[in-house]
Amino acid sequence: MSFSRLAVKWINSFVSLVVAIVLLILGSYSAYSLWDNQQVYEEARDVQLKMKELKPEVVSEDEPPSFADLRAVNHDVHGWVTLDGTKIDYPVLQGENNLTYINTDVYGNFALAGSIYMDCRNSADFSDVYNLLFGHHMANSRMFGDLDLYKDEAFFRKNVTGTLLTEGAVYDLRVAALLLVPASEEGVFDITRYETAEDVISFVRENAVFLNDFMPEPGGEGQFLVFTTCSSEFTDARTVLVTTMIRHR
């Protein structure tokens, strides 16, 4: 065998070896990524299951739910939110800023799934006209992933109830509107612009993809609990679910 043929054979063998190593590395990385992603979802599920054991109970009409057990875990827990027909059933936290719980769970541990949390500018007792909640968009119905369900109009029309528990009150929630907006939309994310229910109603009616007849009467009083998460319709899209708050305890 000539030297040139031997060289070509050696080069081909070397290239094949390099390709095999690269494919092995890529395969290992893909497997690790899948495992790591699964761990994120498993951690989110485990935290939710543990928290649901501490979910406040409504004992009577005259007695507000107790948050003592949850506050013992984390004093930043101020509520518990549930949307019927979904797996959204979580404690609501509020940090010093809106990054505090973006990648931190209710135990204070680093977690990519983060927590469900209220805008730091809102009153901790949910007494504002406009109360804004954040949660990561995750598959497998984790965190605020199930907000996607409301993009189906039939689901949006059928599943219209939920509950907000706080230390001082119980609120029935009514799904009023679904919006798709950019992350820069001040009408959603600048909570300081809303002083009256009428201001919120005007913005929601002008921007809703779907709208239910649960808005307060024009000129009347009302409160809103607004859910937001990432979406994929366009760059920096956000899914926004607007619910009205009806205090009954």
Instruction: Please write the tens of the pLDDT for every residue from 104-125.
Output: 999 999 999 999 999 999 999 9
CA 78 to chain centre: 16
State the Cα torsion 10-15-18-20 to the nearest 10°: -100
Statement: residue 204 has pLDDT above 60: yes
Alpha-carbon distances of 56 from 42, 118, 140, 230, 231, rounded to whole Å: 24, 18, 25, 28, 31
* DSSP secondary structure code for residue 62 in this structure: S
Check residue 30 and give its pLDDT: 44
Q: Which residue has the higher pLDDT, 189 or 1?
A: 189
pTM for this entry: 0.83
- CA gap 89, 67 in Å, rounded: 15
- CA gap 101, 94 in Å, rounded: 8
- CA gap 47, 217 in Å, rounded: 39
* Residue spans of beta strands (DSSP E) within the chain: 77-83, 89-93, 117-118, 130-134, 161-166, 170-182, 210-211, 223-230, 237-247
Of residues 97, 89, 83, 124, the one with CA closest to residue 242: 83
**Which domains are delineated in the chain?**
68-247 (2.40.260.10)
Give the CA angle between residues 200, 205, 209 to the nearest 5°.
Answer: 120
